[in-house]
């Protein structure tokens, strides 16, 4: 596992968290999904510390709608 790979998984998918990035144009991108809360928070801190214009936040992972792909 590389140092950029989150280290743990949630105990269940209902406890899974995602990390999101919002760029300066307002576009949202899911960077990681199905992380533990701790790993999601750690990733947010790590990317926020880089000082880019983007903002980062963690939120509970939403199920993927396989028909819509989101």
Question: Domains of the chain: which residue ranges?
Answer: 13-60
Over residues 37-62, mean pLDDT? 93
The whole-angstrom separation of Cα 28 and Cα 43 is 16
Mean pLDDT, the chain, whole residue set: 83
Residue 37 has pLDDT above 80, yes or no: yes
C-alpha distances out from residue 27 to 7, 13, 34, 49, 65, Å:
27, 26, 21, 20, 20
- What are the b/e assignments for 4-18, b being 16+ CB within 10 Å? eebeeebeeeeebbb
* Beta pairing partners, 14: none
Residue 39 has pLDDT above 80, yes or no: yes
């Amino acid at each position: 596992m590389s140092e950029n790979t989150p280290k743990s998984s949630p105990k269940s998918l209902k406890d899974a968290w995602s990390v999101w990035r919002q760029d300066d144009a307002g576009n949202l991108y899911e960077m990681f999904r199905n992380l533990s809360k701790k790993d999601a928070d750690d990733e947010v801190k790590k990317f926020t510390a880089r000082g880019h214009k983007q903002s980062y936040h963690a939120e509970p992972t939403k199920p993927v709608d396989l028909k819509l792909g989101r």
